[in-house]
Chain A
Amino acid sequence: MYQYDEYDQKLVDERVAQFRDQTRRYLAGELPDDEYRMLRLRNGLYVQRFAPMLRVAIPYGLLASKQVRMLGHIARTYDKGYGHLTTRQNIQFNWPTLESVPDILADLATVQMHAIQTSGNCIRNFTSDHLAGVAADELVDPRPYCEIARQWATLHPEFNWLPRKFKIAISSSTTDRAATRVHDIGVHIVRNEAGELGYTMYVGGGLGRTPIIGVKLRDFLPEADLLSYCEAVLRVYNRLGRRDNIYKARIKILVKETGPAKFAELVEAEWAQIKDSYLKLTQADLDRVKRHFSQPTYDATAANDTTYAARIAANPAFAAWTRRNLKAHRVPGYSAVFASLKAKGVAPGDIDAAQLDAVADLADRYSFGEVRVTHTQNLVFADVQQKDLYPLWQALAGIGLATPNIGLLTDVICCPGLDFCSLSNASSIAVAEEIFERFESLDDQHDIGEMKLNMSGCMNGCGHHSVGHIGILGVDKKGEEWYQITLGGSSSNDASLGDRTGPSVSRADIADAVQNLIETYLAERHSEDESFLACYRRVGMAPFKTRLYASVEAEA
């Protein structure tokens, strides 16, 4: 866990003071509405459908237990008792008053947290692999690189007023768990043939109304040059990105309109000017930050435990949970444990204050006092000993966080939708609940297997619908909620955008439509080993489309 030093702490404290004064001036009528809006967004504060919403940064998804407790305190003190984990590893509070936000930010600062640049047209929170540091397929721990980049981006004097928001994700594993190809910059940490560390750089990916998979800008960038290269990309973007049309202002449009080859030339030319500047990382800088992420002290005897096998044999519910919600750990006798925030009757990603407190206690007891947020809106206890899996499961079950559905159909990625968001066209949470109820049992019956069902209430795409194996997009048609469906999207290494099935379906039919698609898959698949995505890629749209529209009402 990165620990702030005096400089980091001073910056967040000064940021709180700055925002407190901006809010005071706004309330006193001294700061124009439109300007306060842009300033508050850069502090995570939206004004939503019913109330303000505050998005708190969780850099690369990593939380210490005392920070989790603080989030519980904020939920309890300033909100209606819960928060919502987002698809960019942050947390949102949906009910604070505007006047209380400076106090919330001051509380956050006491545990080394903030809401800086969690919205607005600036460099946003860096996201990464939720299994960083423990995954077996990892080259190096990406978190020190994320932290170095976070500091570079924080209050960057040149890039705080960009054409549009700018999101960067860093991954360092064979399997991309950070959806890097749908980010403005996607960084893959790699080793070249000479054995040197560096990065493959992707640029221009993004979801929203023009979803695009990022293009590779550079095969290998030396390890020391991460910041100078990002600065070069940002400088080209700040200069040339469109500002005449908000829908064409993301860097993906600039890359597309310029052409990837020409864009790469512009970046390389700028980079050549600054690559040997102060932005070059030194080994000492890297080592200093890496020391903050030192490995926990693992118990070498953890794998000797015999209770785990006995518990699995004796308890089918526990066994089912271990099959779905555990991921392999590089250290024998340890697992990474997913706490599912996709339970019946709960909006995907929502967590209440009591759960946050309990999660903090469990992190202290079983996982070195840390927990991670995933971009799929779940939590991970990354370092749990085998012998502790059973008591942890029991404790999680007791607080409703042990649904054995990680990676399955009911592990829906979902935006807040019409229930909270002022941009949204349609409900997403209610649809997610209906799908949950429908498939809770069907899942068991048919073993549908690996499935990403992603849902957004509008084309801004916060629910990542474009890269869902099944994607659902809420649209408004004459005041009614309708849903467009896409098939075959992926945000992993084989990143692809989903194909539209055809006309959208009504609110009343959306759950039936999903069921039709699942049944088509079950009928078409070679075997249980062929996933929905693989099956779709093999057989194509036709059988899905035929079945989908045979029984549901559709409107073009």
Chain B
Amino acid sequence: MSTTLLRNLKVEADDYTLLADDAALPAAGKVIVSHARWHAERDALLASNLVVGIKIPNTVDIATVLPEIAERPLIALDFPAFPDGRAYSQARLLAERFAYKGELRATGKAVVRDQIGFMVRCGFTSFELRDGQDPAACLAAVHEFSVPYQQAADHVQPVFLRRRA
């Protein structure tokens, strides 16, 4: 069963392939490699014809690794368990502080309709939905709350700014 991808708030075919660390590099196309592989094989990957995205563990300090990931066209951040919210902080740093403009992808067990609204707010732009998720319901859940109290990466005008007007 292939994963459903939401990108820019619609269902899209996933043009990236997640590459295992020991898998041979394809000749061309778009791949996602682990942070470890990127670290070890960066020169070879850059020399290839591949478009290379990178998947970052949620234990990594974004500020530390920024120089080696900032130019990537895709960064995938992982939610290894439903309640593990570390990638929310990573996403906000990338999207807000470091103005990352590539595809910021959410992967893992929390990528479901009950959390996707928070993910959009924190700057994720694409979502590998967990198996069994209804894409239409996930898209609807993005707008479950019409006005946020906080300013965040989605640039929705928060309540306190509306009140100042």
Contacts and interface: CB of A to CB of B under 8 A. Distances in A.
Interface of A: 5, 7-8, 10-11, 14-15, 17-18, 22, 31, 34-35, 38-39, 121, 151-152, 154-162, 235, 238-239, 243, 273, 278, 282, 284-285, 288
Given A151-B159, A157-B118, A7 B84 contact: no
Contact of A238 (B85, B121, B160, B163): B85
Contacts of A11: 145, 147, 149
Identify which of A157, A161, A273, A288 gathers the most chain B CB atoms within 10 Å of its CB: A157
Contacts of A5: 163
Contacts of A152: 149-150
Nearest to A36: B114
Contacts of B110: 161
A34 B97 CA distance: 34
B82 interface: yes
Interface in B96-112: 97, 110, 112
Contacts of A15: 145
A151 B149 CA distance: 6
Contact of A157 (B114, B121, B161): B121
Given A11-B147, A239-B61, A284-B164, A160 B85 contact: yes
A31 B145 CA distance: 20
A285 B164 contact: yes
A35 B121 CA distance: 21
Nearest to A6: B147
B137 to A, nearest CB: 9
A121 B145 CA distance: 21
B152 interface: yes
A158 B163 contact: no
A238 B88 contact: yes
A239 B86 contact: yes
B150 A161 contact: no
Contacts of B144: 14, 17-18
Given A14-B146, A239-B89, 5 more contacts: A151-B160, A152-B149, A158-B92, A161-B118, A288-B163
Contacts of B118: 155, 157-158, 160-161
Nearest to B92: A158
A161 B164 CA distance: 30
B67 interface: no
Contacts of A38: 82-83
A162 B159 contact: no
A379 B163 CA distance: 33
Identify which of B117, B144, B145, B150 gathers the most chain A CB atoms within 10 Å of its CB: B150
B90 to A, nearest CB: 8
B153 to A, nearest CB: 8
Nearest to B154: A157
A243 B84 contact: yes
Contacts of B161: 278
A248 B89 CA distance: 21
A8 B161 CA distance: 14
A-side interface mostly: helix
A10 B147 contact: yes
A153 to B, nearest CB: 8
A154 B149 contact: yes
Contact of A158 (B84, B152, B159, B162): B152
A11 B162 CA distance: 14
B145 A14 contact: yes
B151 interface: yes
B148 interface: yes
Contacts of B164: 282, 284-285
B82 A35 contact: yes
A61 B83 CA distance: 29
A10 B144 CA distance: 11
A35 B89 CA distance: 21
Nearest to B90: A239
A157 B160 contact: no
A154 B89 CA distance: 17
A230 B122 CA distance: 18
Contacts of B146: 10, 14
20 contacts: A7-B162, A7-B163, A10-B146, A11-B145, A17-B144, A34-B82, A39-B114, A121-B83, A151-B159, A155-B149, A156-B150, A157-B118, A157-B148, A157-B152, A158-B122, A160-B85, A161-B84, A235-B89, A238-B86, A238-B89
B163 A157 contact: no
A15 B92 CA distance: 23
Contact of A273 (B85, B88, B97, B115): B97
Contacts of B97: 273
A156 B150 CA distance: 7
Nearest to B164: A284
B55 to A, nearest CB: 18
A129 to B, nearest CB: 24
Given A158-B92, A162-B85, A285 B149 contact: no
B148 to A, nearest CB: 7
B89 A158 contact: yes
A174 to B, nearest CB: 31
A284 B152 CA distance: 21
Nearest to A34: B82
Contacts of A8: 159
B122 to A, nearest CB: 5
A429 to B, nearest CB: 32
A154 B83 CA distance: 18
A22 B115 CA distance: 12
Contacts of B86: 238-239, 243
Nearest to B79: A161
Contacts of A154: 149
B43 to A, nearest CB: 30
Contacts of A273: 97
A158 B88 CA distance: 5
Interface string B73-91: 0000000001111101100
Identify which of B115, B121, B151, B159 gathers the most chain A CB atoms within 10 Å of its CB: B159
B122 A278 contact: no
A266 to B, nearest CB: 11
Q: Which 5 A-B pairs have the closest CB atoms?
A: A161-B85, A157-B121, A157-B118, A7-B159, A151-B149
A224 B148 CA distance: 21
B97 to A, nearest CB: 6
B147 A7 contact: yes
B19 to A, nearest CB: 27
Contacts of A39: 114
B93 to A, nearest CB: 8
